[in-house]
Amino acid sequence: MQASLAKEVNRILILVAGGLALCLLWHSILPLVAVLALYIIWSTRQLFALYAWLVREEHTDPPDSVGLWGEFYTRLEHLFRQERRAQDNLQAIIQRAQESVNALEDVVVMIDRHGHLEYWNHSAAQHLGLRPDKDLGQPLTNLIRHPRFTDYLNQGRFNEPLEIPSPVNDSRVLQFRITEFGEGDQLILARDMTRLHHLEQMRKDFVANVSHELKTPLTVLKGYLETLQDTVPDEQTRLRRALQQMSLQSHRMEALVNDLLLLARLENTKADNTSQAVAVHGMLHRMRESALALMPEKHHRITLTVPEDARLLANPAELESAFGNLITNAVKYTPAEGHIHIEWWSDDKGGHLSVTDDGIGIDPQHIPRLTERFYRPDNSRVTQTGGTGLGLAIVKHVMLRHDGKLEIQSALGKGSTFTCHFPPARLVVKPAALTNG
């Protein structure tokens, strides 16, 4: 480039020198003006030729030229070739990425920060009914009109997936997950969960049916065992001991069947919208007395803090089952002379019940799975406590039916705190309290 620039400067100097020589010969400045004008006209023509070459849509060879302009065309052509190669490589990568995304069975959709459709794969067209000729640039909520999906998208809390029926086929269940990227853009992934839902429903139906069928024979067995225990003479100690063990295990089996039936009802029925104003104060006081009588040999100290005017819109039976399971667990897993504290309070976030004990505690790695049915951190404690392993699963489902959540905090050797959080809409405020406020 430096050599071409030097040649062009030399060419201009030669032209100027020639023009000056003619000026001296003719005793006029016109030859110099004419030489410079010709050079300007030639350069202008090269400029127009460059513009015409650049604006052509199809690729053509650059115009023929010499000197600095020729070098300029050569450099530009080289840069254009590099750019075309980069564009071809990028286009190949984009095409390969689109082919791989289209090969996925999962739904992939991209929307901009305004919620308008930018891209989707073949599965999205199949499961969501998106059409490339009409739906590109349309708001996604105009095409997926399910209220839960609209709320999920507007709230922006995507840490948990959303499951709704497919807008194309109500018999198909889709699980949506949303990831944010760029400046407010969102990547939406959806998976067909129909088969898993069918399997889960089959499992629930099986457990419910088996539990229901076991209830009648267990009742008969318990009745005969109680009759035999009353009729067997006291001197037949071995037989009486066997009958006592059989009776104990039948009671344990009955508790398991009852819990399974309750859990099946909570899972398979809709939440009761006709909630009652439950007096939390009275309910917790009764539960405290029952907890003291559950294992009197442990001499637990159970304290209770609850306002007398505490009221909660809830299903009384379900609420009693959830609170009872938490308090019973605290009694079972707190050693002798231990302390259990039950507290109810309310604030701007809603109503809260906490059950705190200074028992054996739980390793934090087990906490995420504690609400799974039959899950236990330590199976050796099953025989000692005699529980069914369904208590916390029942608590979780009761809280879901009451728009709340269960929070668990624990550490080995430092006790545990189980807290039920209810939304503000579940609180009942007395008219007198509103007047005083």
pLDDT number for residue 91: 84
pLDDT number for residue 272: 64
**Coil, strand or helix: which one is 80?**
helix
**Coil, strand or helix: which one is 280?**
helix
Query: Looking at residue 116, what DSSP letter applies?
Result: B
Spatial contact of 280 and 310, defined as CB atoms under 8 Å apart:
yes
Who contacts 213 (Cβ-Cβ below 8 Å, separation ≥6)? Answer: none
Report how far residue 278's alpha carbon sits from residue 211's, in angstroms, rounded to the nearest whole number: 30
Report how far residue 20's alpha carbon sits from residue 2's, in angstroms, rounded to the nearest whole number: 27
Exposure b/e, 135-170, CB count within 10 A at least 16 = b:
beeeebeebbebeebeebbeeeebeeebebebbeee
Tokens 């819109």 identify what position? 313
Contacts 24+ apart (CB under 8 A), 371-376: 371/395, 371/396, 371/406, 373/263
Tell me the residue length of the chain: 437
Tens digits of pLDDT across the chain (437 residues): 566 666 666 667 776 777 777 777 777 777 777 777 877 887 787 777 777 777 776 666 777 766 667 777 777 778 878 888 888 888 888 788 777 888 888 889 998 888 899 888 888 888 888 888 888 888 888 888 888 888 888 888 888 888 999 888 888 899 999 988 888 888 999 999 988 888 888 877 787 787 778 888 888 888 888 888 888 887 788 888 888 888 888 888 888 888 888 888 887 777 666 678 889 999 999 999 998 888 888 888 999 999 988 899 998 888 999 999 999 989 988 888 889 999 999 998 899 999 999 888 888 888 888 888 777 776 544 445 556 778 888 899 999 888 899 999 988 888 899 999 999 988 887 654 333 32
Taking alpha carbons only, the member of 159, 121, 172, 164 closest to residue 141 is: 164
pLDDT number for residue 327: 92
Taking alpha carbons only, the member of 366, 371, 373 closest to residue 200 is: 373
Spatial contact of 107 and 122, defined as CB atoms under 8 Å apart:
no
Q: How does DSSP assign 341-358, residue by residue?
A: EEEEEEETTEEEEEEEE-
| 185-192/107-111 β-pairing | antiparallel
